[in-house]
Structure 1
Amino acid sequence: MEVVRSSIVLSRGRSRLTVTGVLTGLLLTLSVPAALPESGAVTPERGSAYMGMGVLAHDGIARGATADSLPDSRTGQTEGVDVSSYQRDVAWSTLYGSGVRWAYTKATEGTSYKNAYFTQQYTGSYDVGIVRGAYHFATPDSTGGAAQADYFVNHGGGWSADGKTLPGVLDIEWNPYGGDCYGKSKSQMVTWIRDFLNRYKARTGRAAVIYTATNWWTQCTGNYSGFGATNPLWIARYASTPGTLPAGWAYYTMWQYTSTGKTVGDHDRFNGGTTQLKTFASG
């Protein structure tokens, strides 16, 4: 159900403005920032968060960026998407035909939410030849990092060295349910993230990818540099370039460069060709 307020269309907590453009044969829908809960605003339901929800609300589309200025060259990089329950049953064969070669599916959030469409999304992408992985939306205000890593691994976030399964992702970004940094100090946030990463590595043998935005990382971890040597970076920035990276990372492994509409998922780039993608998946 959609509710119109002040001429802004609110759809499941995501306000959006459609911009006509073509991306790999699909309609590109760029979202404009949705305000996080303020006085009189409705707080999203726990479990409803998706990758980039907080990034879009705070950073939005970079100043000067338009549909035409978003990256269109695929030289040396590989197209991917990320999806959650918002996309429901995904037409994976269509995405594969458009050039998508890797995908991440939201598996869990906190220690109570599981994506009801996870099987169709995670297995369906694999079945058409897309290299797939799973991500966890972190809620550091609810339970500890190690507990959330366990929940993630136990509900689809594992890894196997088959060359077709990507390492799990910790999605750590602005809190859609309250205070930006989940009520934690910078040092407490770093500890929480470390606890998650250590438990995930112990359970799976792989270092988890960290998905974040530079502004959030700076605000909520003090731009901590200690994970760059061990954990790949998935940077979120909706612009023609990924911009300044968080401290500790000299390069990004993945880049979420646009937040699209519900139908096809957000679009991303892997910083390498398909051979490098499969090598990365293999560990």
Structure 2
Amino acid sequence: MVERRIVRTLGKLTPIAMAVAIAITAPGLAAADAPRGPDVSSWQHVDGTGIDWFQVKASGHEFAMVKATESLNYVNPYFIQDCLVMRAAGVSRGAYHYADVRQSPEAQAAFYSAIVLGINGPGDLPPVLDLEDAKGLPAGQVIDWTHRYLNTVQALTGRQPIIYTYPNFWRTQMANTTEFNHYPLWIADYNGQNAPGPLPGGWSNWTFWQYTSTGRIPGITGNTDINVYSGAQGDFDRYANSVGFGSS
């Protein structure tokens, strides 16, 4: 997401490497027909421009991750608008909360769950925690915060959350803890290769891979992150409550 770009140097995929990333089928690699989709926030609404989710869908993108909330008081002003049009277009919805580890995890989990209406309807992927800023706190404190947030969200939504992070953050700010590797992983790694590099935290596989921040998708103004689903959680339509969703 845009927020993390100030804290790390990002690589870029060449067009050839990007094609390879979605064209090879092997364990840990992205299959040619794997579901793909952007992640967006208010940054993709340049000067208030809307996203044409029908174009996004027509260009072959089956899902999108949308920023819903941050901390205890921020709601993406385009979240509801995007969600309504995504549903009409048949684009499965992921919704993420950008963590503020200085504030109550339970309160943030409740805030997020209320805004996303439980994230358990047709076309909904499980809840997502975007964890990429320790705010200067020690690893032990951030680890405790993360346990409490995830436990609360799961209790409120009935679904196991997805963790979004990037390798350097997890290894340095989370002390490379292995306490969360039973959660689905959404990893950001712009390494220019055909799969993410070695995973942090004892994860043996990834569920989503954010492989570029400079993608271009019809219907979205400017660059956007693009992600691919690995199949680690089984059939995508079932994982996204999408059986029959968006069909004609």
Could you state the TM-score of these two structures normalised by the residue count of structure 1? Answer: 0.73
* 1:196 aligned to which of 135, 143, 149: 149
Task: Check whether the contact 2:2–2:43 (CA below 8 A) recurs between aligned residues.
Answer: no
Cα–Cα, structure 1 residues 121 and 161, in superposed 2: closer, same or farther, change >3 Å? Answer: closer
Partner of 1:156: 116
Q: Secondary structure at the match of 1:215?
A: helix
Partner of 2:202: 248
Q: How many residues align?
A: 222
Using the TM superposition, give the Cα deviation of residue 183 of structure 1 relative to its aligned residue in structure 2, in angstroms: 2.0
Partner of 2:184: 232
Task: Check whether the contact 1:102–1:132 (CA below 8 A) recurs between aligned residues.
Answer: yes
For structure 2, the 5+ residue unaligned runs are: 24-30, 216-220, 243-248
Partner of 1:75: 32
Partner of 1:266: 225
Distance 2:147 2:162 in 1: 12
* 1:94 aligned to which of 43, 46, 55: 55
Task: Check whether the contact 2:22–2:34 (CA below 8 A) recurs between aligned residues.
Answer: no
Task: Check whether the contact 1:158–1:167 (CA below 8 A) recurs between aligned residues.
Answer: no
Using the TM superposition, give the Cα deviation of residue 76 of structure 1 relative to its aligned residue in structure 2, in angstroms: 4.8
Q: Secondary structure at the match of 1:75?
A: coil
Using the TM superposition, give the Cα deviation of residue 159 of structure 1 relative to its aligned residue in structure 2, in angstroms: 1.8
User: Which digits, 9 at most, give the CA deviation of each residue in 1:141-164, with x for residues without a partner?
Assistant: 2x12111111111112622153x1
Task: Check whether the contact 1:159–1:165 (CA below 8 A) recurs between aligned residues.
Answer: yes
Matched letter for residue 204 of structure 2? A
Cα–Cα, structure 1 residues 276 and 246, in superposed 2: closer, same or farther, change >3 Å? Answer: same
Greater relative CO, 1 or 2 (CA 8 Å, sep 6+): 2
Using the TM superposition, give the Cα deviation of residue 280 of structure 1 relative to its aligned residue in structure 2, in angstroms: 1.3
* 1:182 aligned to which of 135, 144, 149: 135
Partner of 1:212: 165
- Please identify which structure carries the higher helix content: 2
Distance 1:66 1:72 in 2: 13
Using the TM superposition, give the Cα deviation of residue 272 of structure 1 relative to its aligned residue in structure 2, in angstroms: 2.7
Q: Secondary structure at the match of 2:72?
A: coil
Q: Secondary structure at the match of 2:119?
A: coil
Using the TM superposition, give the Cα deviation of residue 105 of structure 1 relative to its aligned residue in structure 2, in angstroms: 0.8
Partner of 1:61: 11
> Is the counterpart of residue 128 in structure 1 residue 89 in structure 2?
yes
Matched letter for residue 201 of structure 1? Q
Aligned-residue sequence identity (percent) comes to: 35
For structure 1, the 5+ residue unaligned runs are: 1-50, 175-180
Distance 2:74 2:129 in 1: 15
Cα–Cα, structure 1 residues 123 and 132, in superposed 2: closer, same or farther, change >3 Å? Answer: same
Q: Secondary structure at the match of 1:260?
A: strand
Matched letter for residue 10 of structure 2? G
User: Which digits, 9 at most, give the CA deviation of each residue in 1:156-211, with x for residues without a partner?
Assistant: 2622153x11111100113xxxxxx2121111010011111010011011111000
Task: Check whether the contact 2:22–2:32 (CA below 8 A) recurs between aligned residues.
Answer: no
Task: Check whether the contact 1:61–1:238 (CA below 8 A) recurs between aligned residues.
Answer: yes
